[in-house]
Amino acid sequence: MREKPRKIYNKLLKHFGRQAWWPADSPFEVIVGAILTQNTNWRNVEKAILNLKAARVLRPAPLLKVSNAKLERLIRPSGFYKQKAKRLKGFIKEYHGKSVPRLRSGQGMSREELLAIKGIGPETADSILLYAFEEPTFVVDAYTRRIGQRVGLFDFDDYHEIKDYFEKNLPKNLEMYKEYHALLVELAKTYCRTKPQCRKCPINKLCYNYSQ
């Protein structure tokens, strides 16, 4: 069983190729994207990110200074824009003067610091740690749960149990964690959908639920 997560990774990597995720120009852009992607898909986040870039406010100080009304308008495509505008500003205010300089230099914060910020949950915190600050921590999302349960890796739902499962059964490797998360997302979008397309799935032979 310990070899199965690695086999799945190798098959997905061979099938889809390297994903080079997360698409961003800076650690701060990753953080903004991680907050905006809550309860929406990445296509909507991309529209909001483009709006922020066009308005020249995709940096800590300008984003803090922009009016709430304007910020809400810019990030509206991501949904829940009033809530997310507060979370973005809350993130910066919480660490302004202490951690924003670290953001500019690409240095990170601890998981505990991130989770202490209102609106930052485990998935968002781990996304920031992995992709913005390059800490080897495994990110769990709804796709990870769906695929892991369908193929028989685990039968639990708890975020930290799933995270621990992958971290105990894979090498503690930054690039592997990045690629694995991105590959699971691609698999879920392409084959392992709500209504799965099992016959063409690259890991169907490893899936407990697949029958020809």
Residue ranges, CATH 1.10.340.30, the chain: 27-105
Residue ranges, CATH 1.10.1670.10, the chain: 4-20+140-206
pLDDT at 186 exceeding the cut of 70: yes
How much is the pTM? 0.91
> In 180-194, which positions are buried (b, 16+ CB within 10 angstroms) versus exposed (e)?
bbbbbbbbbeebbee
Residue partners of 60: CB distance under 8 A and separation at least 6: 28, 92, 96, 100, 103, 104
CB 132 within 8 A of CB 114: no
Q: What DSSP character marks residue 55? A: T
CB 201 within 8 A of CB 187: yes
Q: Classify domain 4-20+140-206 by CATH number.
A: 1.10.1670.10
Q: In the CATH hierarchy, which top-level class contains the domain 27-105?
A: mainly alpha
Residue range 30-81, pLDDT digits in tens: 999 999 999 999 999 999 999 999 999 999 899 999 999 999 999 999 999 9
pLDDT at 101 exceeding the cut of 50: no
Q: What is the pLDDT of residue 104?
A: 47
Mean pLDDT of 138-154: 96
CA separation for the pair 76, 176 (Å, rounded): 33
> In 34-68, which positions are buried (b, 16+ CB within 10 angstroms) versus exposed (e)?
bbbbbeeebebbbebbebbeeeebbbbeebbebee
pLDDT at 105 exceeding the cut of 60: no
* Dihedral in degrees, nearest 10, Cα atoms 157, 193, 23, 126: 0
Q: Which of 56, 55, 31, 59 is nearest to 45 (CA)?
A: 31
CB 48 within 8 A of CB 74: yes
